Structure 1
């Protein structure tokens, strides 16, 4: 044994202990100084920030303008033919003139003096009715896309849209009907207030029409697109087919409701439902055909024009 160290013995050499604490400290220091990816950092709220910063408010004023333009474009296209058909159905139900005679007379007036027809009360009422209905539906789509941060081209389909569109359509349509039924009521009869049952039947008719025109096509369109081939969709899309088919098919059910409401006004003394049903059944076929011809431009052509004009304008604002 060699002398050295304490007690004259050489101390045995042991490996120095691992500096784990130092390693851990170094690792923590490196982790602390390593830059954190930007995507993981939550943005600090700015002063005065609100929840609306998460909304899609890009070009909101212009988007609302696009809603108005597309609604007006659709309404001005459908107003002439719808005002003619609505008048003919009213006059046929009241016994003033047959449906064919009324349509012929109105078309002749449109061709001879179009300015008088365009600036007439029936035309203005129809324009306000469908322009207001389309504008309500469009504005709701814009509100939904804004609040939920969706693309400007978003088209909603649900309870909110049904309720808003129905409220606008029912209110405007009932006002239109009570003016029309007075203008084109039974010959020789003084205009009188529209009874509450007529209002209720008109409201039911409009709820059915709105549901088939605004809520069914967005749901039915994708189904038709999957069913029909690509060759067909090169000419007409499933959405377009649904926009025409749904409201037109519903007229088989809604027309009797409409005729019943008219008969309540035209014949207030008829109390037997069988008597009223006889009149409704008599005019059912011809009135259904006329209302299908009416609904195709109203929510078919008008719906397609409104949809495509709005989408084209919104795509430029995205």
Structure 2
């Protein structure tokens, strides 16, 4: 029986439970594609939903489990009834908690966001394509809730992270002025994205007020609640504030599942056109998955982390 590599968990927990195992090569069923994965992008949800059994159960995961959701690669085999895809097509998408593997099987229809394939546009490399699905959709959904435009000054909390790099650029493309919170070490990185950096921590509202005396009109908090509280202190109405990582009474919350139809295709189009870029902070071979997951879980990475699985 032909074998392939996949990251597997025999117990829920932190990066220490991640192992690379030899597994049977999956076969696509009717309406499915088998994709040879070349790159997989990491997201905070990858380690959050596999950290303990109760959280995993809410995502429908049981042991043994896989790891990673965003992928890019090449169609290797198509199942019965599949139209629109053929072996050799470059694709990207999501495969919930099973993307870090030599092969994934996904539905060809792409109707479920965590079990999908989309054509990779010309001009978008696989590493970049592997970062788009979760972070891109989440940023799009958050900004749709805050609805920034040319007359707005937007505060983006956690602007240097995986979702932040999309949110900053999408807000700028909408014409808004963007202030982005981050550490002192992220200031140049944020400026390069098009945001005006502001240090997070105590006194955030005062620092924002000094940077934007005219006030801010919208905010997205991509980390916790600090940006929400600062925005409220600065008079932003709850309806123009959005969170993604926590719930705050009265404040809209968003995630990738809330993104408008076509949001991911639009993000991929912007990347292909050179209007949106995705900084890759680090890449690791699959054998170093624990190191990659530890770096991601530290939440101090500027940009995205990618696992390479070969060309």
Using structure 2 for the length normalisation, give the TM-score: 0.24
Q: 1 or 2, which has the higher helix percentage?
A: 1
Q: Which has the higher contact order (CA 8 A, sep 6+)?
A: 1
